[in-house]
Amino acid sequence: MPRKNSDSDEAGTSRCGDPVIGSKRAVATFVAEIAWSHGVSILHDLIPRLISLSAKGACEAELVCSILRSILNVGITHDALFKVGDRGETLLHGLGEFLPQVLALLCSLLDKHTRDSFSDTSNQYMEDANQHECTVKAALDTAQAYAEWTPVTDLARYGLIQRCGSLLHSNIFRIHALQFFKSIMQSKRPVGIAIAEYDLAVSSVFPILMNISEGSLKFVEPEMQCLKAPCSSLRYPAAHPKVMSNLFELLESVPATCEDISDGMSCHLVEEHNVLAESFTLVASFPRVQKDPGLLSCILIPLSKIWSQPEWEINLMDYFCDAWFRTSVHNIFVLVNEELKKCMPEKSNGTGPKVKSSWSTLLPLMLPILLKLLQYIHSLWTDEVAFNISEELEEAKFIMCSVDSSDLENEIRVWLQKIRKTGYMVIGNCSYLEGAFHNLLDNTLVCGALLKNIDSMEFRHVTWLIRYAIIPLLKNCPCGLWKKWLDVLLKPVFHYCEYTLYSSWCHLLYKNMVHVPDNFGDASVSKEKLDKLGSGLMFKLTREVSHLFAVIALPDLNGGLALERQSIIQKVARSEDLESILSSSLVGYLLYHDDINGSVLRLISYIFGYWTDGVARTIAVPFCHRLIQLATVTHSNELISYVNDDIIPNVIRSLEIKPCSDGNKEIISVKSESDILTNLCYDAYLCTADQGLVSEGTFPRSNAEFFRKWLLKQVEMVHCKNESVDELEEIVCIWEIEEEFISYLPTYTTLILGVDSFVNNLKDGYFLQYSPTEIMNEFLSKHVVDSSDVWVVSAMLSDERKLSSEHWKRQSKQPYEFFHKLINFNKPYIKDGMQYFGYNENVQKLLEDNSEEWPSLAGYNRSSTLELFCSILELWEPQFHPLIREAHKNVLIEMASQLTFGDYIDLVQPFQPDSADFLEHLQPYAQNYIDDKNKTFGYDKAKEQTKLHKQFDIHLASGALDPYIRQIRSSKGNFYQKTLDGGILGNQFVDLDYVLRAMSLERRAKLLEEEDRQCLYLKHMEIVVANEQEQLRNELKSLIQELKDEQFFLVDVDDNIEWGKKRFSELVNKFEEDVFAGLHLPKYYVIRGIMDLQQMLCMEDRSLKDAFAVVVGVPYRRWMETRHLFWMDTRYYEHGCYSVIEDPIKEIWMKEDERRAN
């Protein structure tokens, strides 16, 4: 490139982009340090020298800009800035008197080097143009740094705003200039400047920013700065209309198609979403921004519409890998959460007056987005979704990042955690708003999003969920809405803790193993560290559950129970109905709730009995106090027995043993814990003494010394009992429970196999005629069953278990047998070929047949089966003839099997083991055993495979793979081999068993083959009708007449016609040669053609073309219109996965029992 001569080009001068650019920064910093160390007055001598230096050339001017910027930065570092006012507004100190010279110098440098840059570029002096360009950028960066601290009035007075504004139309300098204006719009008005003067200066900025988009705005990624700077001016109401207009003009310019992160999904939607989300954050977060709900709604409404679109939901998880999407979404909910925190009371138990928020009208637009996002994030941990997500998302689910983890995986991991916590906080904080439970929060949507997939959550997830969402909702829920909210809010949480958390404690205490659902992911971490982390998560969740119980026991949530004991008793004595107390007591509501009270009492027993965490035990003490008060008030035998049999013994044992610790600092002193537990025991003792359950003499209520001696005696007895055995195993007794379960397991296996075999072998008549009780008595008469297990047999033989599944199985089997009888019935089913004339008399006899051959098939079932069969014939056999039926019989039998047995898999809950068949204390072990067995022996995998297989059939129904299937069929390829090619099928079905895929493809191939036959049949029959050659038509008429003479069409006459005689075959072959030559259609299509032509010829009142439309055209259209429905209705496969789901007892438990026996 040519280069103009310059006197300033000396040997040591560096150019923009040279490595020595770093030395410029060093020089600039050094000069600034000297200036501030010798006092700011040195600038009197320094600034004239800088002006002189900048006049030498572009490189020197760039160095001067760096020095000016460093003087400001070093001044900030040296605390040269001081704050004034309560709002933390900052003013320049010391530099104020030099600002006119500095700002004037920057304006001069911008004018000169911008002009020189454009001039050298036009003259092709590219090297010099680049140096001037670097100088302009350095001047803009310096101006931006001073704009953060300099009043906007000074920037306007010395012309810096105008100079920077003129550079906004340059692609080279636009980004740097926008940073200058962004700093202006984010600054605050200094106290010493008049409002009118300040607003006048700021108003001069609006036209400059708006003029950026006077031309057609085009959206490109680097020009997002074009969005940020104008949005900054939304702080000023006068700028609203034009800014919003330009914003939506920008959105309209987003390209409709471009390369995207998701397969087949245009990036238009996600780009528009991200622009809107970032706009909302910018608008709502600027200092002193006017929180105009109408303005913010303009952004939120289109944003919420995006989240409701089907294509958005389909591809949502793909966007988790998009950094811009993650940032914009997280920033919105952080902003919402901070806004909610501002209007929350500092200390509230949820029962005080609720607060109002200026965002109350915006939250209904935000919450559906948040709930949907949380639901999708929760689903990442479910088996249904986990197999179909990207490798980055799968790795991001782990707690720890491995050495091989990519930056994307780590960023997504952090984002998932932040979104969970922030999302839960937003929902919890919303509960503090006035009218939240009536006007804002919908229990179905909130609880559905939070708890739908709780069984797949890890301990850390449930801990956050309880802490940030469940507890605030519980605190603030009005008592009148407890039934609506708490039933669906607490039951899944208690169920999770009762089984998953209980199982982890069992592993720790009995097997000395740490077993948690959390996946750490890093294989390089030592087992000791992982065990410590896992036990820490278990302790955290346990203590959070205790916190939940402590919140339930809060005085403000328990109405009358918060009164003193004597006043409660007196109040109840005067009341004929306890509803007034229970309706205002959350503890009372839960303990008198049939679906929840059992879980609550068991968890309290675990916390105070089996789970040796002293901190959790101490936290849950307030709940036990409320429970004791409730037992005293209501005189409930169940609660009083629980206090006497569970609370008192567990508290005494807790006083005697040393609790486990997770090393957490949240440790209560031994003395404090002992005092708390002693007070609880005293309260419980008073309750049992009131009921006369104390066996050791009369207890003087006022004598605390008597209680102290009694308690010491009880603790000493427990201590003596534990001296000769291991304390932990003796207290927890888990080894005894597991041993009891293991010893009972063979008995249970024998019972369930016996019940299954017994019911399977019952005759239809006996099965339908006798009640479950009579069937059970019959079973007990033939099997030796211990009296303690009779209730188990009764549960297995209930209408909801084995009898129900067997009933559905037989209801599917009997119609299938009736289909067989109908298929073998070689007579027309419908009089005169039209259904409204009624069924043939012989068919009617089948419906009314009550012989022993059909004892279990009621008449109405036979009628419905016949109607279903006739609907099949309308599609697949529109013309009846014995020869058609004989050739078509196997096809009809296959359809009958698919139709009758296909629904059984989808509709029926198979008979299988249930943990409820075991005693209550054995149920967690039973559930773990059942789950492990289902996982080990393929039941869980079979469910996943059949679900994926159904999705594959739905995909095939769309016709997307029909060309591929036709290609394989035409080449006589093997589907069992071809289905391994993932390029055609896509990654969605890569985990589907290849045999299941091949079975679906083969079934689809048969349907496509039949479709081709239908088309060929229609086409060639139409040729016959439209043929103008009289000779062919006369030959066909003659052939039909000869067949008629041979009684070929007398299909409904009860004569012994020999359908296989030679003349029939000759005439049928002649018809095939004349009409379907070379098509290789099945013989029943040829016979159907004969029957159709004969029917058309008999329709003398119509033309042959019109008759063709009725006889051939109508059945063809009917078949084509219903083939997709027929495809899904007949999806039944004989495969091991379906066998396991249909009969797990036979495929899992019986086979395992046989293996053990051998």
Tens of pLDDT, residue by residue over 974-987, are: 554 454 444 566 66
Measured CA to CA in angstroms, residue 847 lies from 826, 837, 838 at distances of 16, 17, 13
DSSP states along 409-432: HHHHHHHHHHHHHHHHHHHHHHTT
The answer, yes or no, to whether residue 1101 has pLDDT greater than 50, is yes
- Residue 582 banded pLDDT, cuts 50, 70, 90: confident
3-state secondary structure of 839: strand
CA 412-416-417 angle, 5° bins: 120
Q: Are 944 and 1141 in contact (CB under 8 A)?
A: no
pLDDT in tens, 133-171: 999 999 999 998 888 888 888 888 888 888 888 888 787
Phi, psi dihedrals of residue 82, rounded to the nearest 5°: -125, 155
**pLDDT (0 to 100) of residue 808:** 67
Q: Average pLDDT of 692-701? A: 50
Which amino acid would we find at residue 920? E
- What sign for the dihedral angle of Cα 424, 430, 436, 439? negative
Q: Which of the pair, 263 or 211, is modelled with greater confidence?
A: 211
- What sign for the dihedral angle of Cα 350, 356, 358, 361? positive
Q: Which of 807, 815, 814, 808 has its CA nearest to residue 869?
A: 815
**pLDDT (0 to 100) of residue 791:** 84
Token pair recorded at residue 796: 């297995």
**pLDDT (0 to 100) of residue 1102:** 85
- Residue 843 banded pLDDT, cuts 50, 70, 90: low
**pLDDT (0 to 100) of residue 14:** 41
**pLDDT (0 to 100) of residue 554:** 92
pLDDT in tens, 174-209: 888 888 887 777 777 776 677 777 777 777 777 776
Q: Average pLDDT of 674-690? A: 84
- Residue 664 banded pLDDT, cuts 50, 70, 90: low
Phi, psi dihedrals of residue 91, rounded to the nearest 5°: -125, 150
Q: Which of the pair, 85 or 410, is modelled with greater confidence?
A: 410
Q: Which residues, including other chains, have CB under 8 Å from residue 1000's CB and lie 6 or more apart? A: 949, 952, 953, 956, 1133
**pLDDT (0 to 100) of residue 83:** 40
**pLDDT (0 to 100) of residue 257:** 42
**pLDDT (0 to 100) of residue 239:** 54
- Residue 725 banded pLDDT, cuts 50, 70, 90: very low
Q: How far is 224 from 243, CA to CA, in rounded Å?
A: 14
Output 660-667 pairs: Cβ under 8 A, ≥24 positions apart: 660/612, 660/613, 660/614, 661/614, 662/535, 662/536, 662/538, 662/539, 662/613, 663/532, 663/536, 664/536, 664/539, 664/540, 664/615, 666/543, 666/615, 667/614, 667/615
Token pair recorded at residue 156: 């306007």
Q: Which of 467, 470, 495, 466 has its CA nearest to residue 485?
A: 470
The answer, yes or no, to whether residue 828 has pLDDT greater than 60, is yes
Q: Which of 848, 850, 876, 811 has its CA nearest to residue 1017?
A: 876
- Residue 469 banded pLDDT, cuts 50, 70, 90: very high
Q: How far is 11 from 155, CA to CA, in rounded Å?
A: 37
**pLDDT (0 to 100) of residue 966:** 83
Q: Average pLDDT of 344-356? A: 60
* Count of CB atoms situated within 10 Å of the CB of 19: 7
The answer, yes or no, to whether residue 600 has pLDDT greater than 70, is yes
Q: Which of the pair, 551 or 96, is modelled with greater confidence?
A: 551
3-state secondary structure of 175: helix
**pLDDT (0 to 100) of residue 217:** 41
The answer, yes or no, to whether residue 250 has pLDDT greater than 80, is no
Give the chain's end-to-end CA distance (angstroms, integer).
Answer: 90
pLDDT in tens, 393-443: 888 998 887 777 788 888 999 999 999 999 999 999 999 888 889 888 999
Angle between helices 58-77 and 21-37 (to 10 degrees): 50
Block residue for tokens 């479950």: 772
Q: What is the mean pLDDT of the chain?
A: 77
Enter the DSSP assignment of 810: H
3-state secondary structure of 964: helix
Q: Which of 496-505, 507-516, 889-898, 980-989 has the lowest mean pLDDT?
A: 980-989
Q: How far is 638 from 642, CA to CA, in rounded Å?
A: 6
Output the pTM of the full model.
0.52
Percent of the chain with pLDDT over 70: 73
Calculate the CA 108 to chain-centre distance.
59
DSSP states along 864-926: HHHHHHHHHHHHH-SS--HHHHHHHHHHHHHHHHHHHHHHHHHH-------GGGS-GGGHHHH
Please name every residue paired with 633 in a beta bridge, in sequence order, or none if there are none.
none
**pLDDT (0 to 100) of residue 603:** 92
The answer, yes or no, to whether residue 679 has pLDDT greater than 50, is yes
pLDDT in tens, 987-996: 678 788 878 8
The answer, yes or no, to whether residue 1136 has pLDDT greater than 90, is no
Q: How far is 717 from 655, CA to CA, in rounded Å?
A: 12
**pLDDT (0 to 100) of residue 470:** 95
Q: How far is 401 from 417, CA to CA, in rounded Å?
A: 13
3-state secondary structure of 90: strand
Enter the DSSP assignment of 585: -
pLDDT in tens, 357-390: 667 778 898 999 999 999 999 999 988 888 788 8
Q: Average pLDDT of 209-219? A: 51
Q: Average pLDDT of 61-69? A: 89
Q: Average pLDDT of 609-621? A: 88
Q: How far is 899 from 870, CA to CA, in rounded Å?
A: 13
Percent of the chain with pLDDT over 90: 12
Q: How far is 1032 from 1029, CA to CA, in rounded Å?
A: 6
**pLDDT (0 to 100) of residue 638:** 87
Enter the DSSP assignment of 353: P
pLDDT in tens, 1022-1063: 888 876 666 777 788 888 888 888 888 887 765 677 877 888
Q: Are 53 and 60 in contact (CB under 8 A)?
A: yes
- What sign for the dihedral angle of Cα 142, 146, 147, 151? negative
The answer, yes or no, to whether residue 594 has pLDDT greater than 90, is no
Q: How far is 544 from 462, CA to CA, in rounded Å?
A: 9
- Residue 330 banded pLDDT, cuts 50, 70, 90: very high
pLDDT in tens, 753-783: 888 888 888 776 566 666 778 888 888 888 8
Token pair recorded at residue 946: 């059949």
Phi, psi dihedrals of residue 595, rounded to the nearest 5°: -85, -10
Q: Average pLDDT of 259-275? A: 60
- Torsion, Cα 1061 1064 1070 1076, to 10 degrees, reads -110
pLDDT in tens, 363-372: 898 999 999 9
Output 482-487 pairs: Cβ under 8 A, ≥24 positions apart: 482/586, 482/589, 484/443, 485/437, 485/443, 485/447, 486/586, 486/589, 486/590, 486/596, 487/593, 487/595, 487/596
pLDDT in tens, 884-935: 888 777 888 777 777 776 665 666 678 888 888 888 778 888 888 888 888 8
